Structure 1
Amino acid sequence: MSNILAKSQNENIQKAGECGGAVTSILKYLLDEEIVDGVLTLTPINDVYDATPTFITESEDLLNAAGSYHCAPTMIGDLVQKYLFDKKVAITVKPCDMRAIDELITRHKINEDNIYVIGLNCGGTVSPVSGRKMIDLFYDANPDDVVSEEIDKGKFIIELADGSEEAVKIHDLEEEGYGRRDNCQRCDVKIPRNANIACGNWGAEDGWTFIEINDEKGQELIDGAKKAGILETKSPSQDAIDARSKVENIMINMAKKVQDATYPSVNEMDEWSRCIGCYACRDVCPICWCFENCELNKSYFKIETKMPPSPIAFQGVRLSHMSFSCVDCGQCDDVCPMDIPVSLIFDKLQKKYYNRTGYVAGLSDNIKPPLYSPEKTEL
Structure 2
Amino acid sequence: MESTTQLVYALDTFYFLVTGALVMWMAAGFAMLEAGLVRAKNTAEILTKNIALFAIASTTYMVIGYDLMYPTAGNGFVPGLDWGFLFGGDHDAATITAEGLNHARMSDFFFQVVFVATAMSIVSGAVAERMKLWSFLLFATVMTAVIYPIQGYWKWGGGWLEAVGFNDFAGSGLVHLCGAAAALAGVLLLGARRGKYGKDGSINAIPGANLPLATLGTFVLWLGWFGFNGGSQLALTGFDNTNAVAAIFVNTNMAAAGGTLLGLITARLLFGKADLTMALNGALAGLVAITAEPLTPSPLFATLIGGVGGVLVVFSIVTLDRLRIDDPVGAISVHGVVGMWGLMAVPITNAGASFAAQAIGLGAILGWVFTTSLLAWLLIRLVMGLRVSEEEEYAGVDLGECGLEAYPEFTATRRAS
TM range (shorter): under 0.3
Pick 1 or 2: higher relative contact order, CA cutoff 8 A, min separation 6: 2
| TM, length-normalised to structure 2 | 0.26
> Which of the two has greater strand per residue?
1
> Which of the two has greater helix per residue?
2
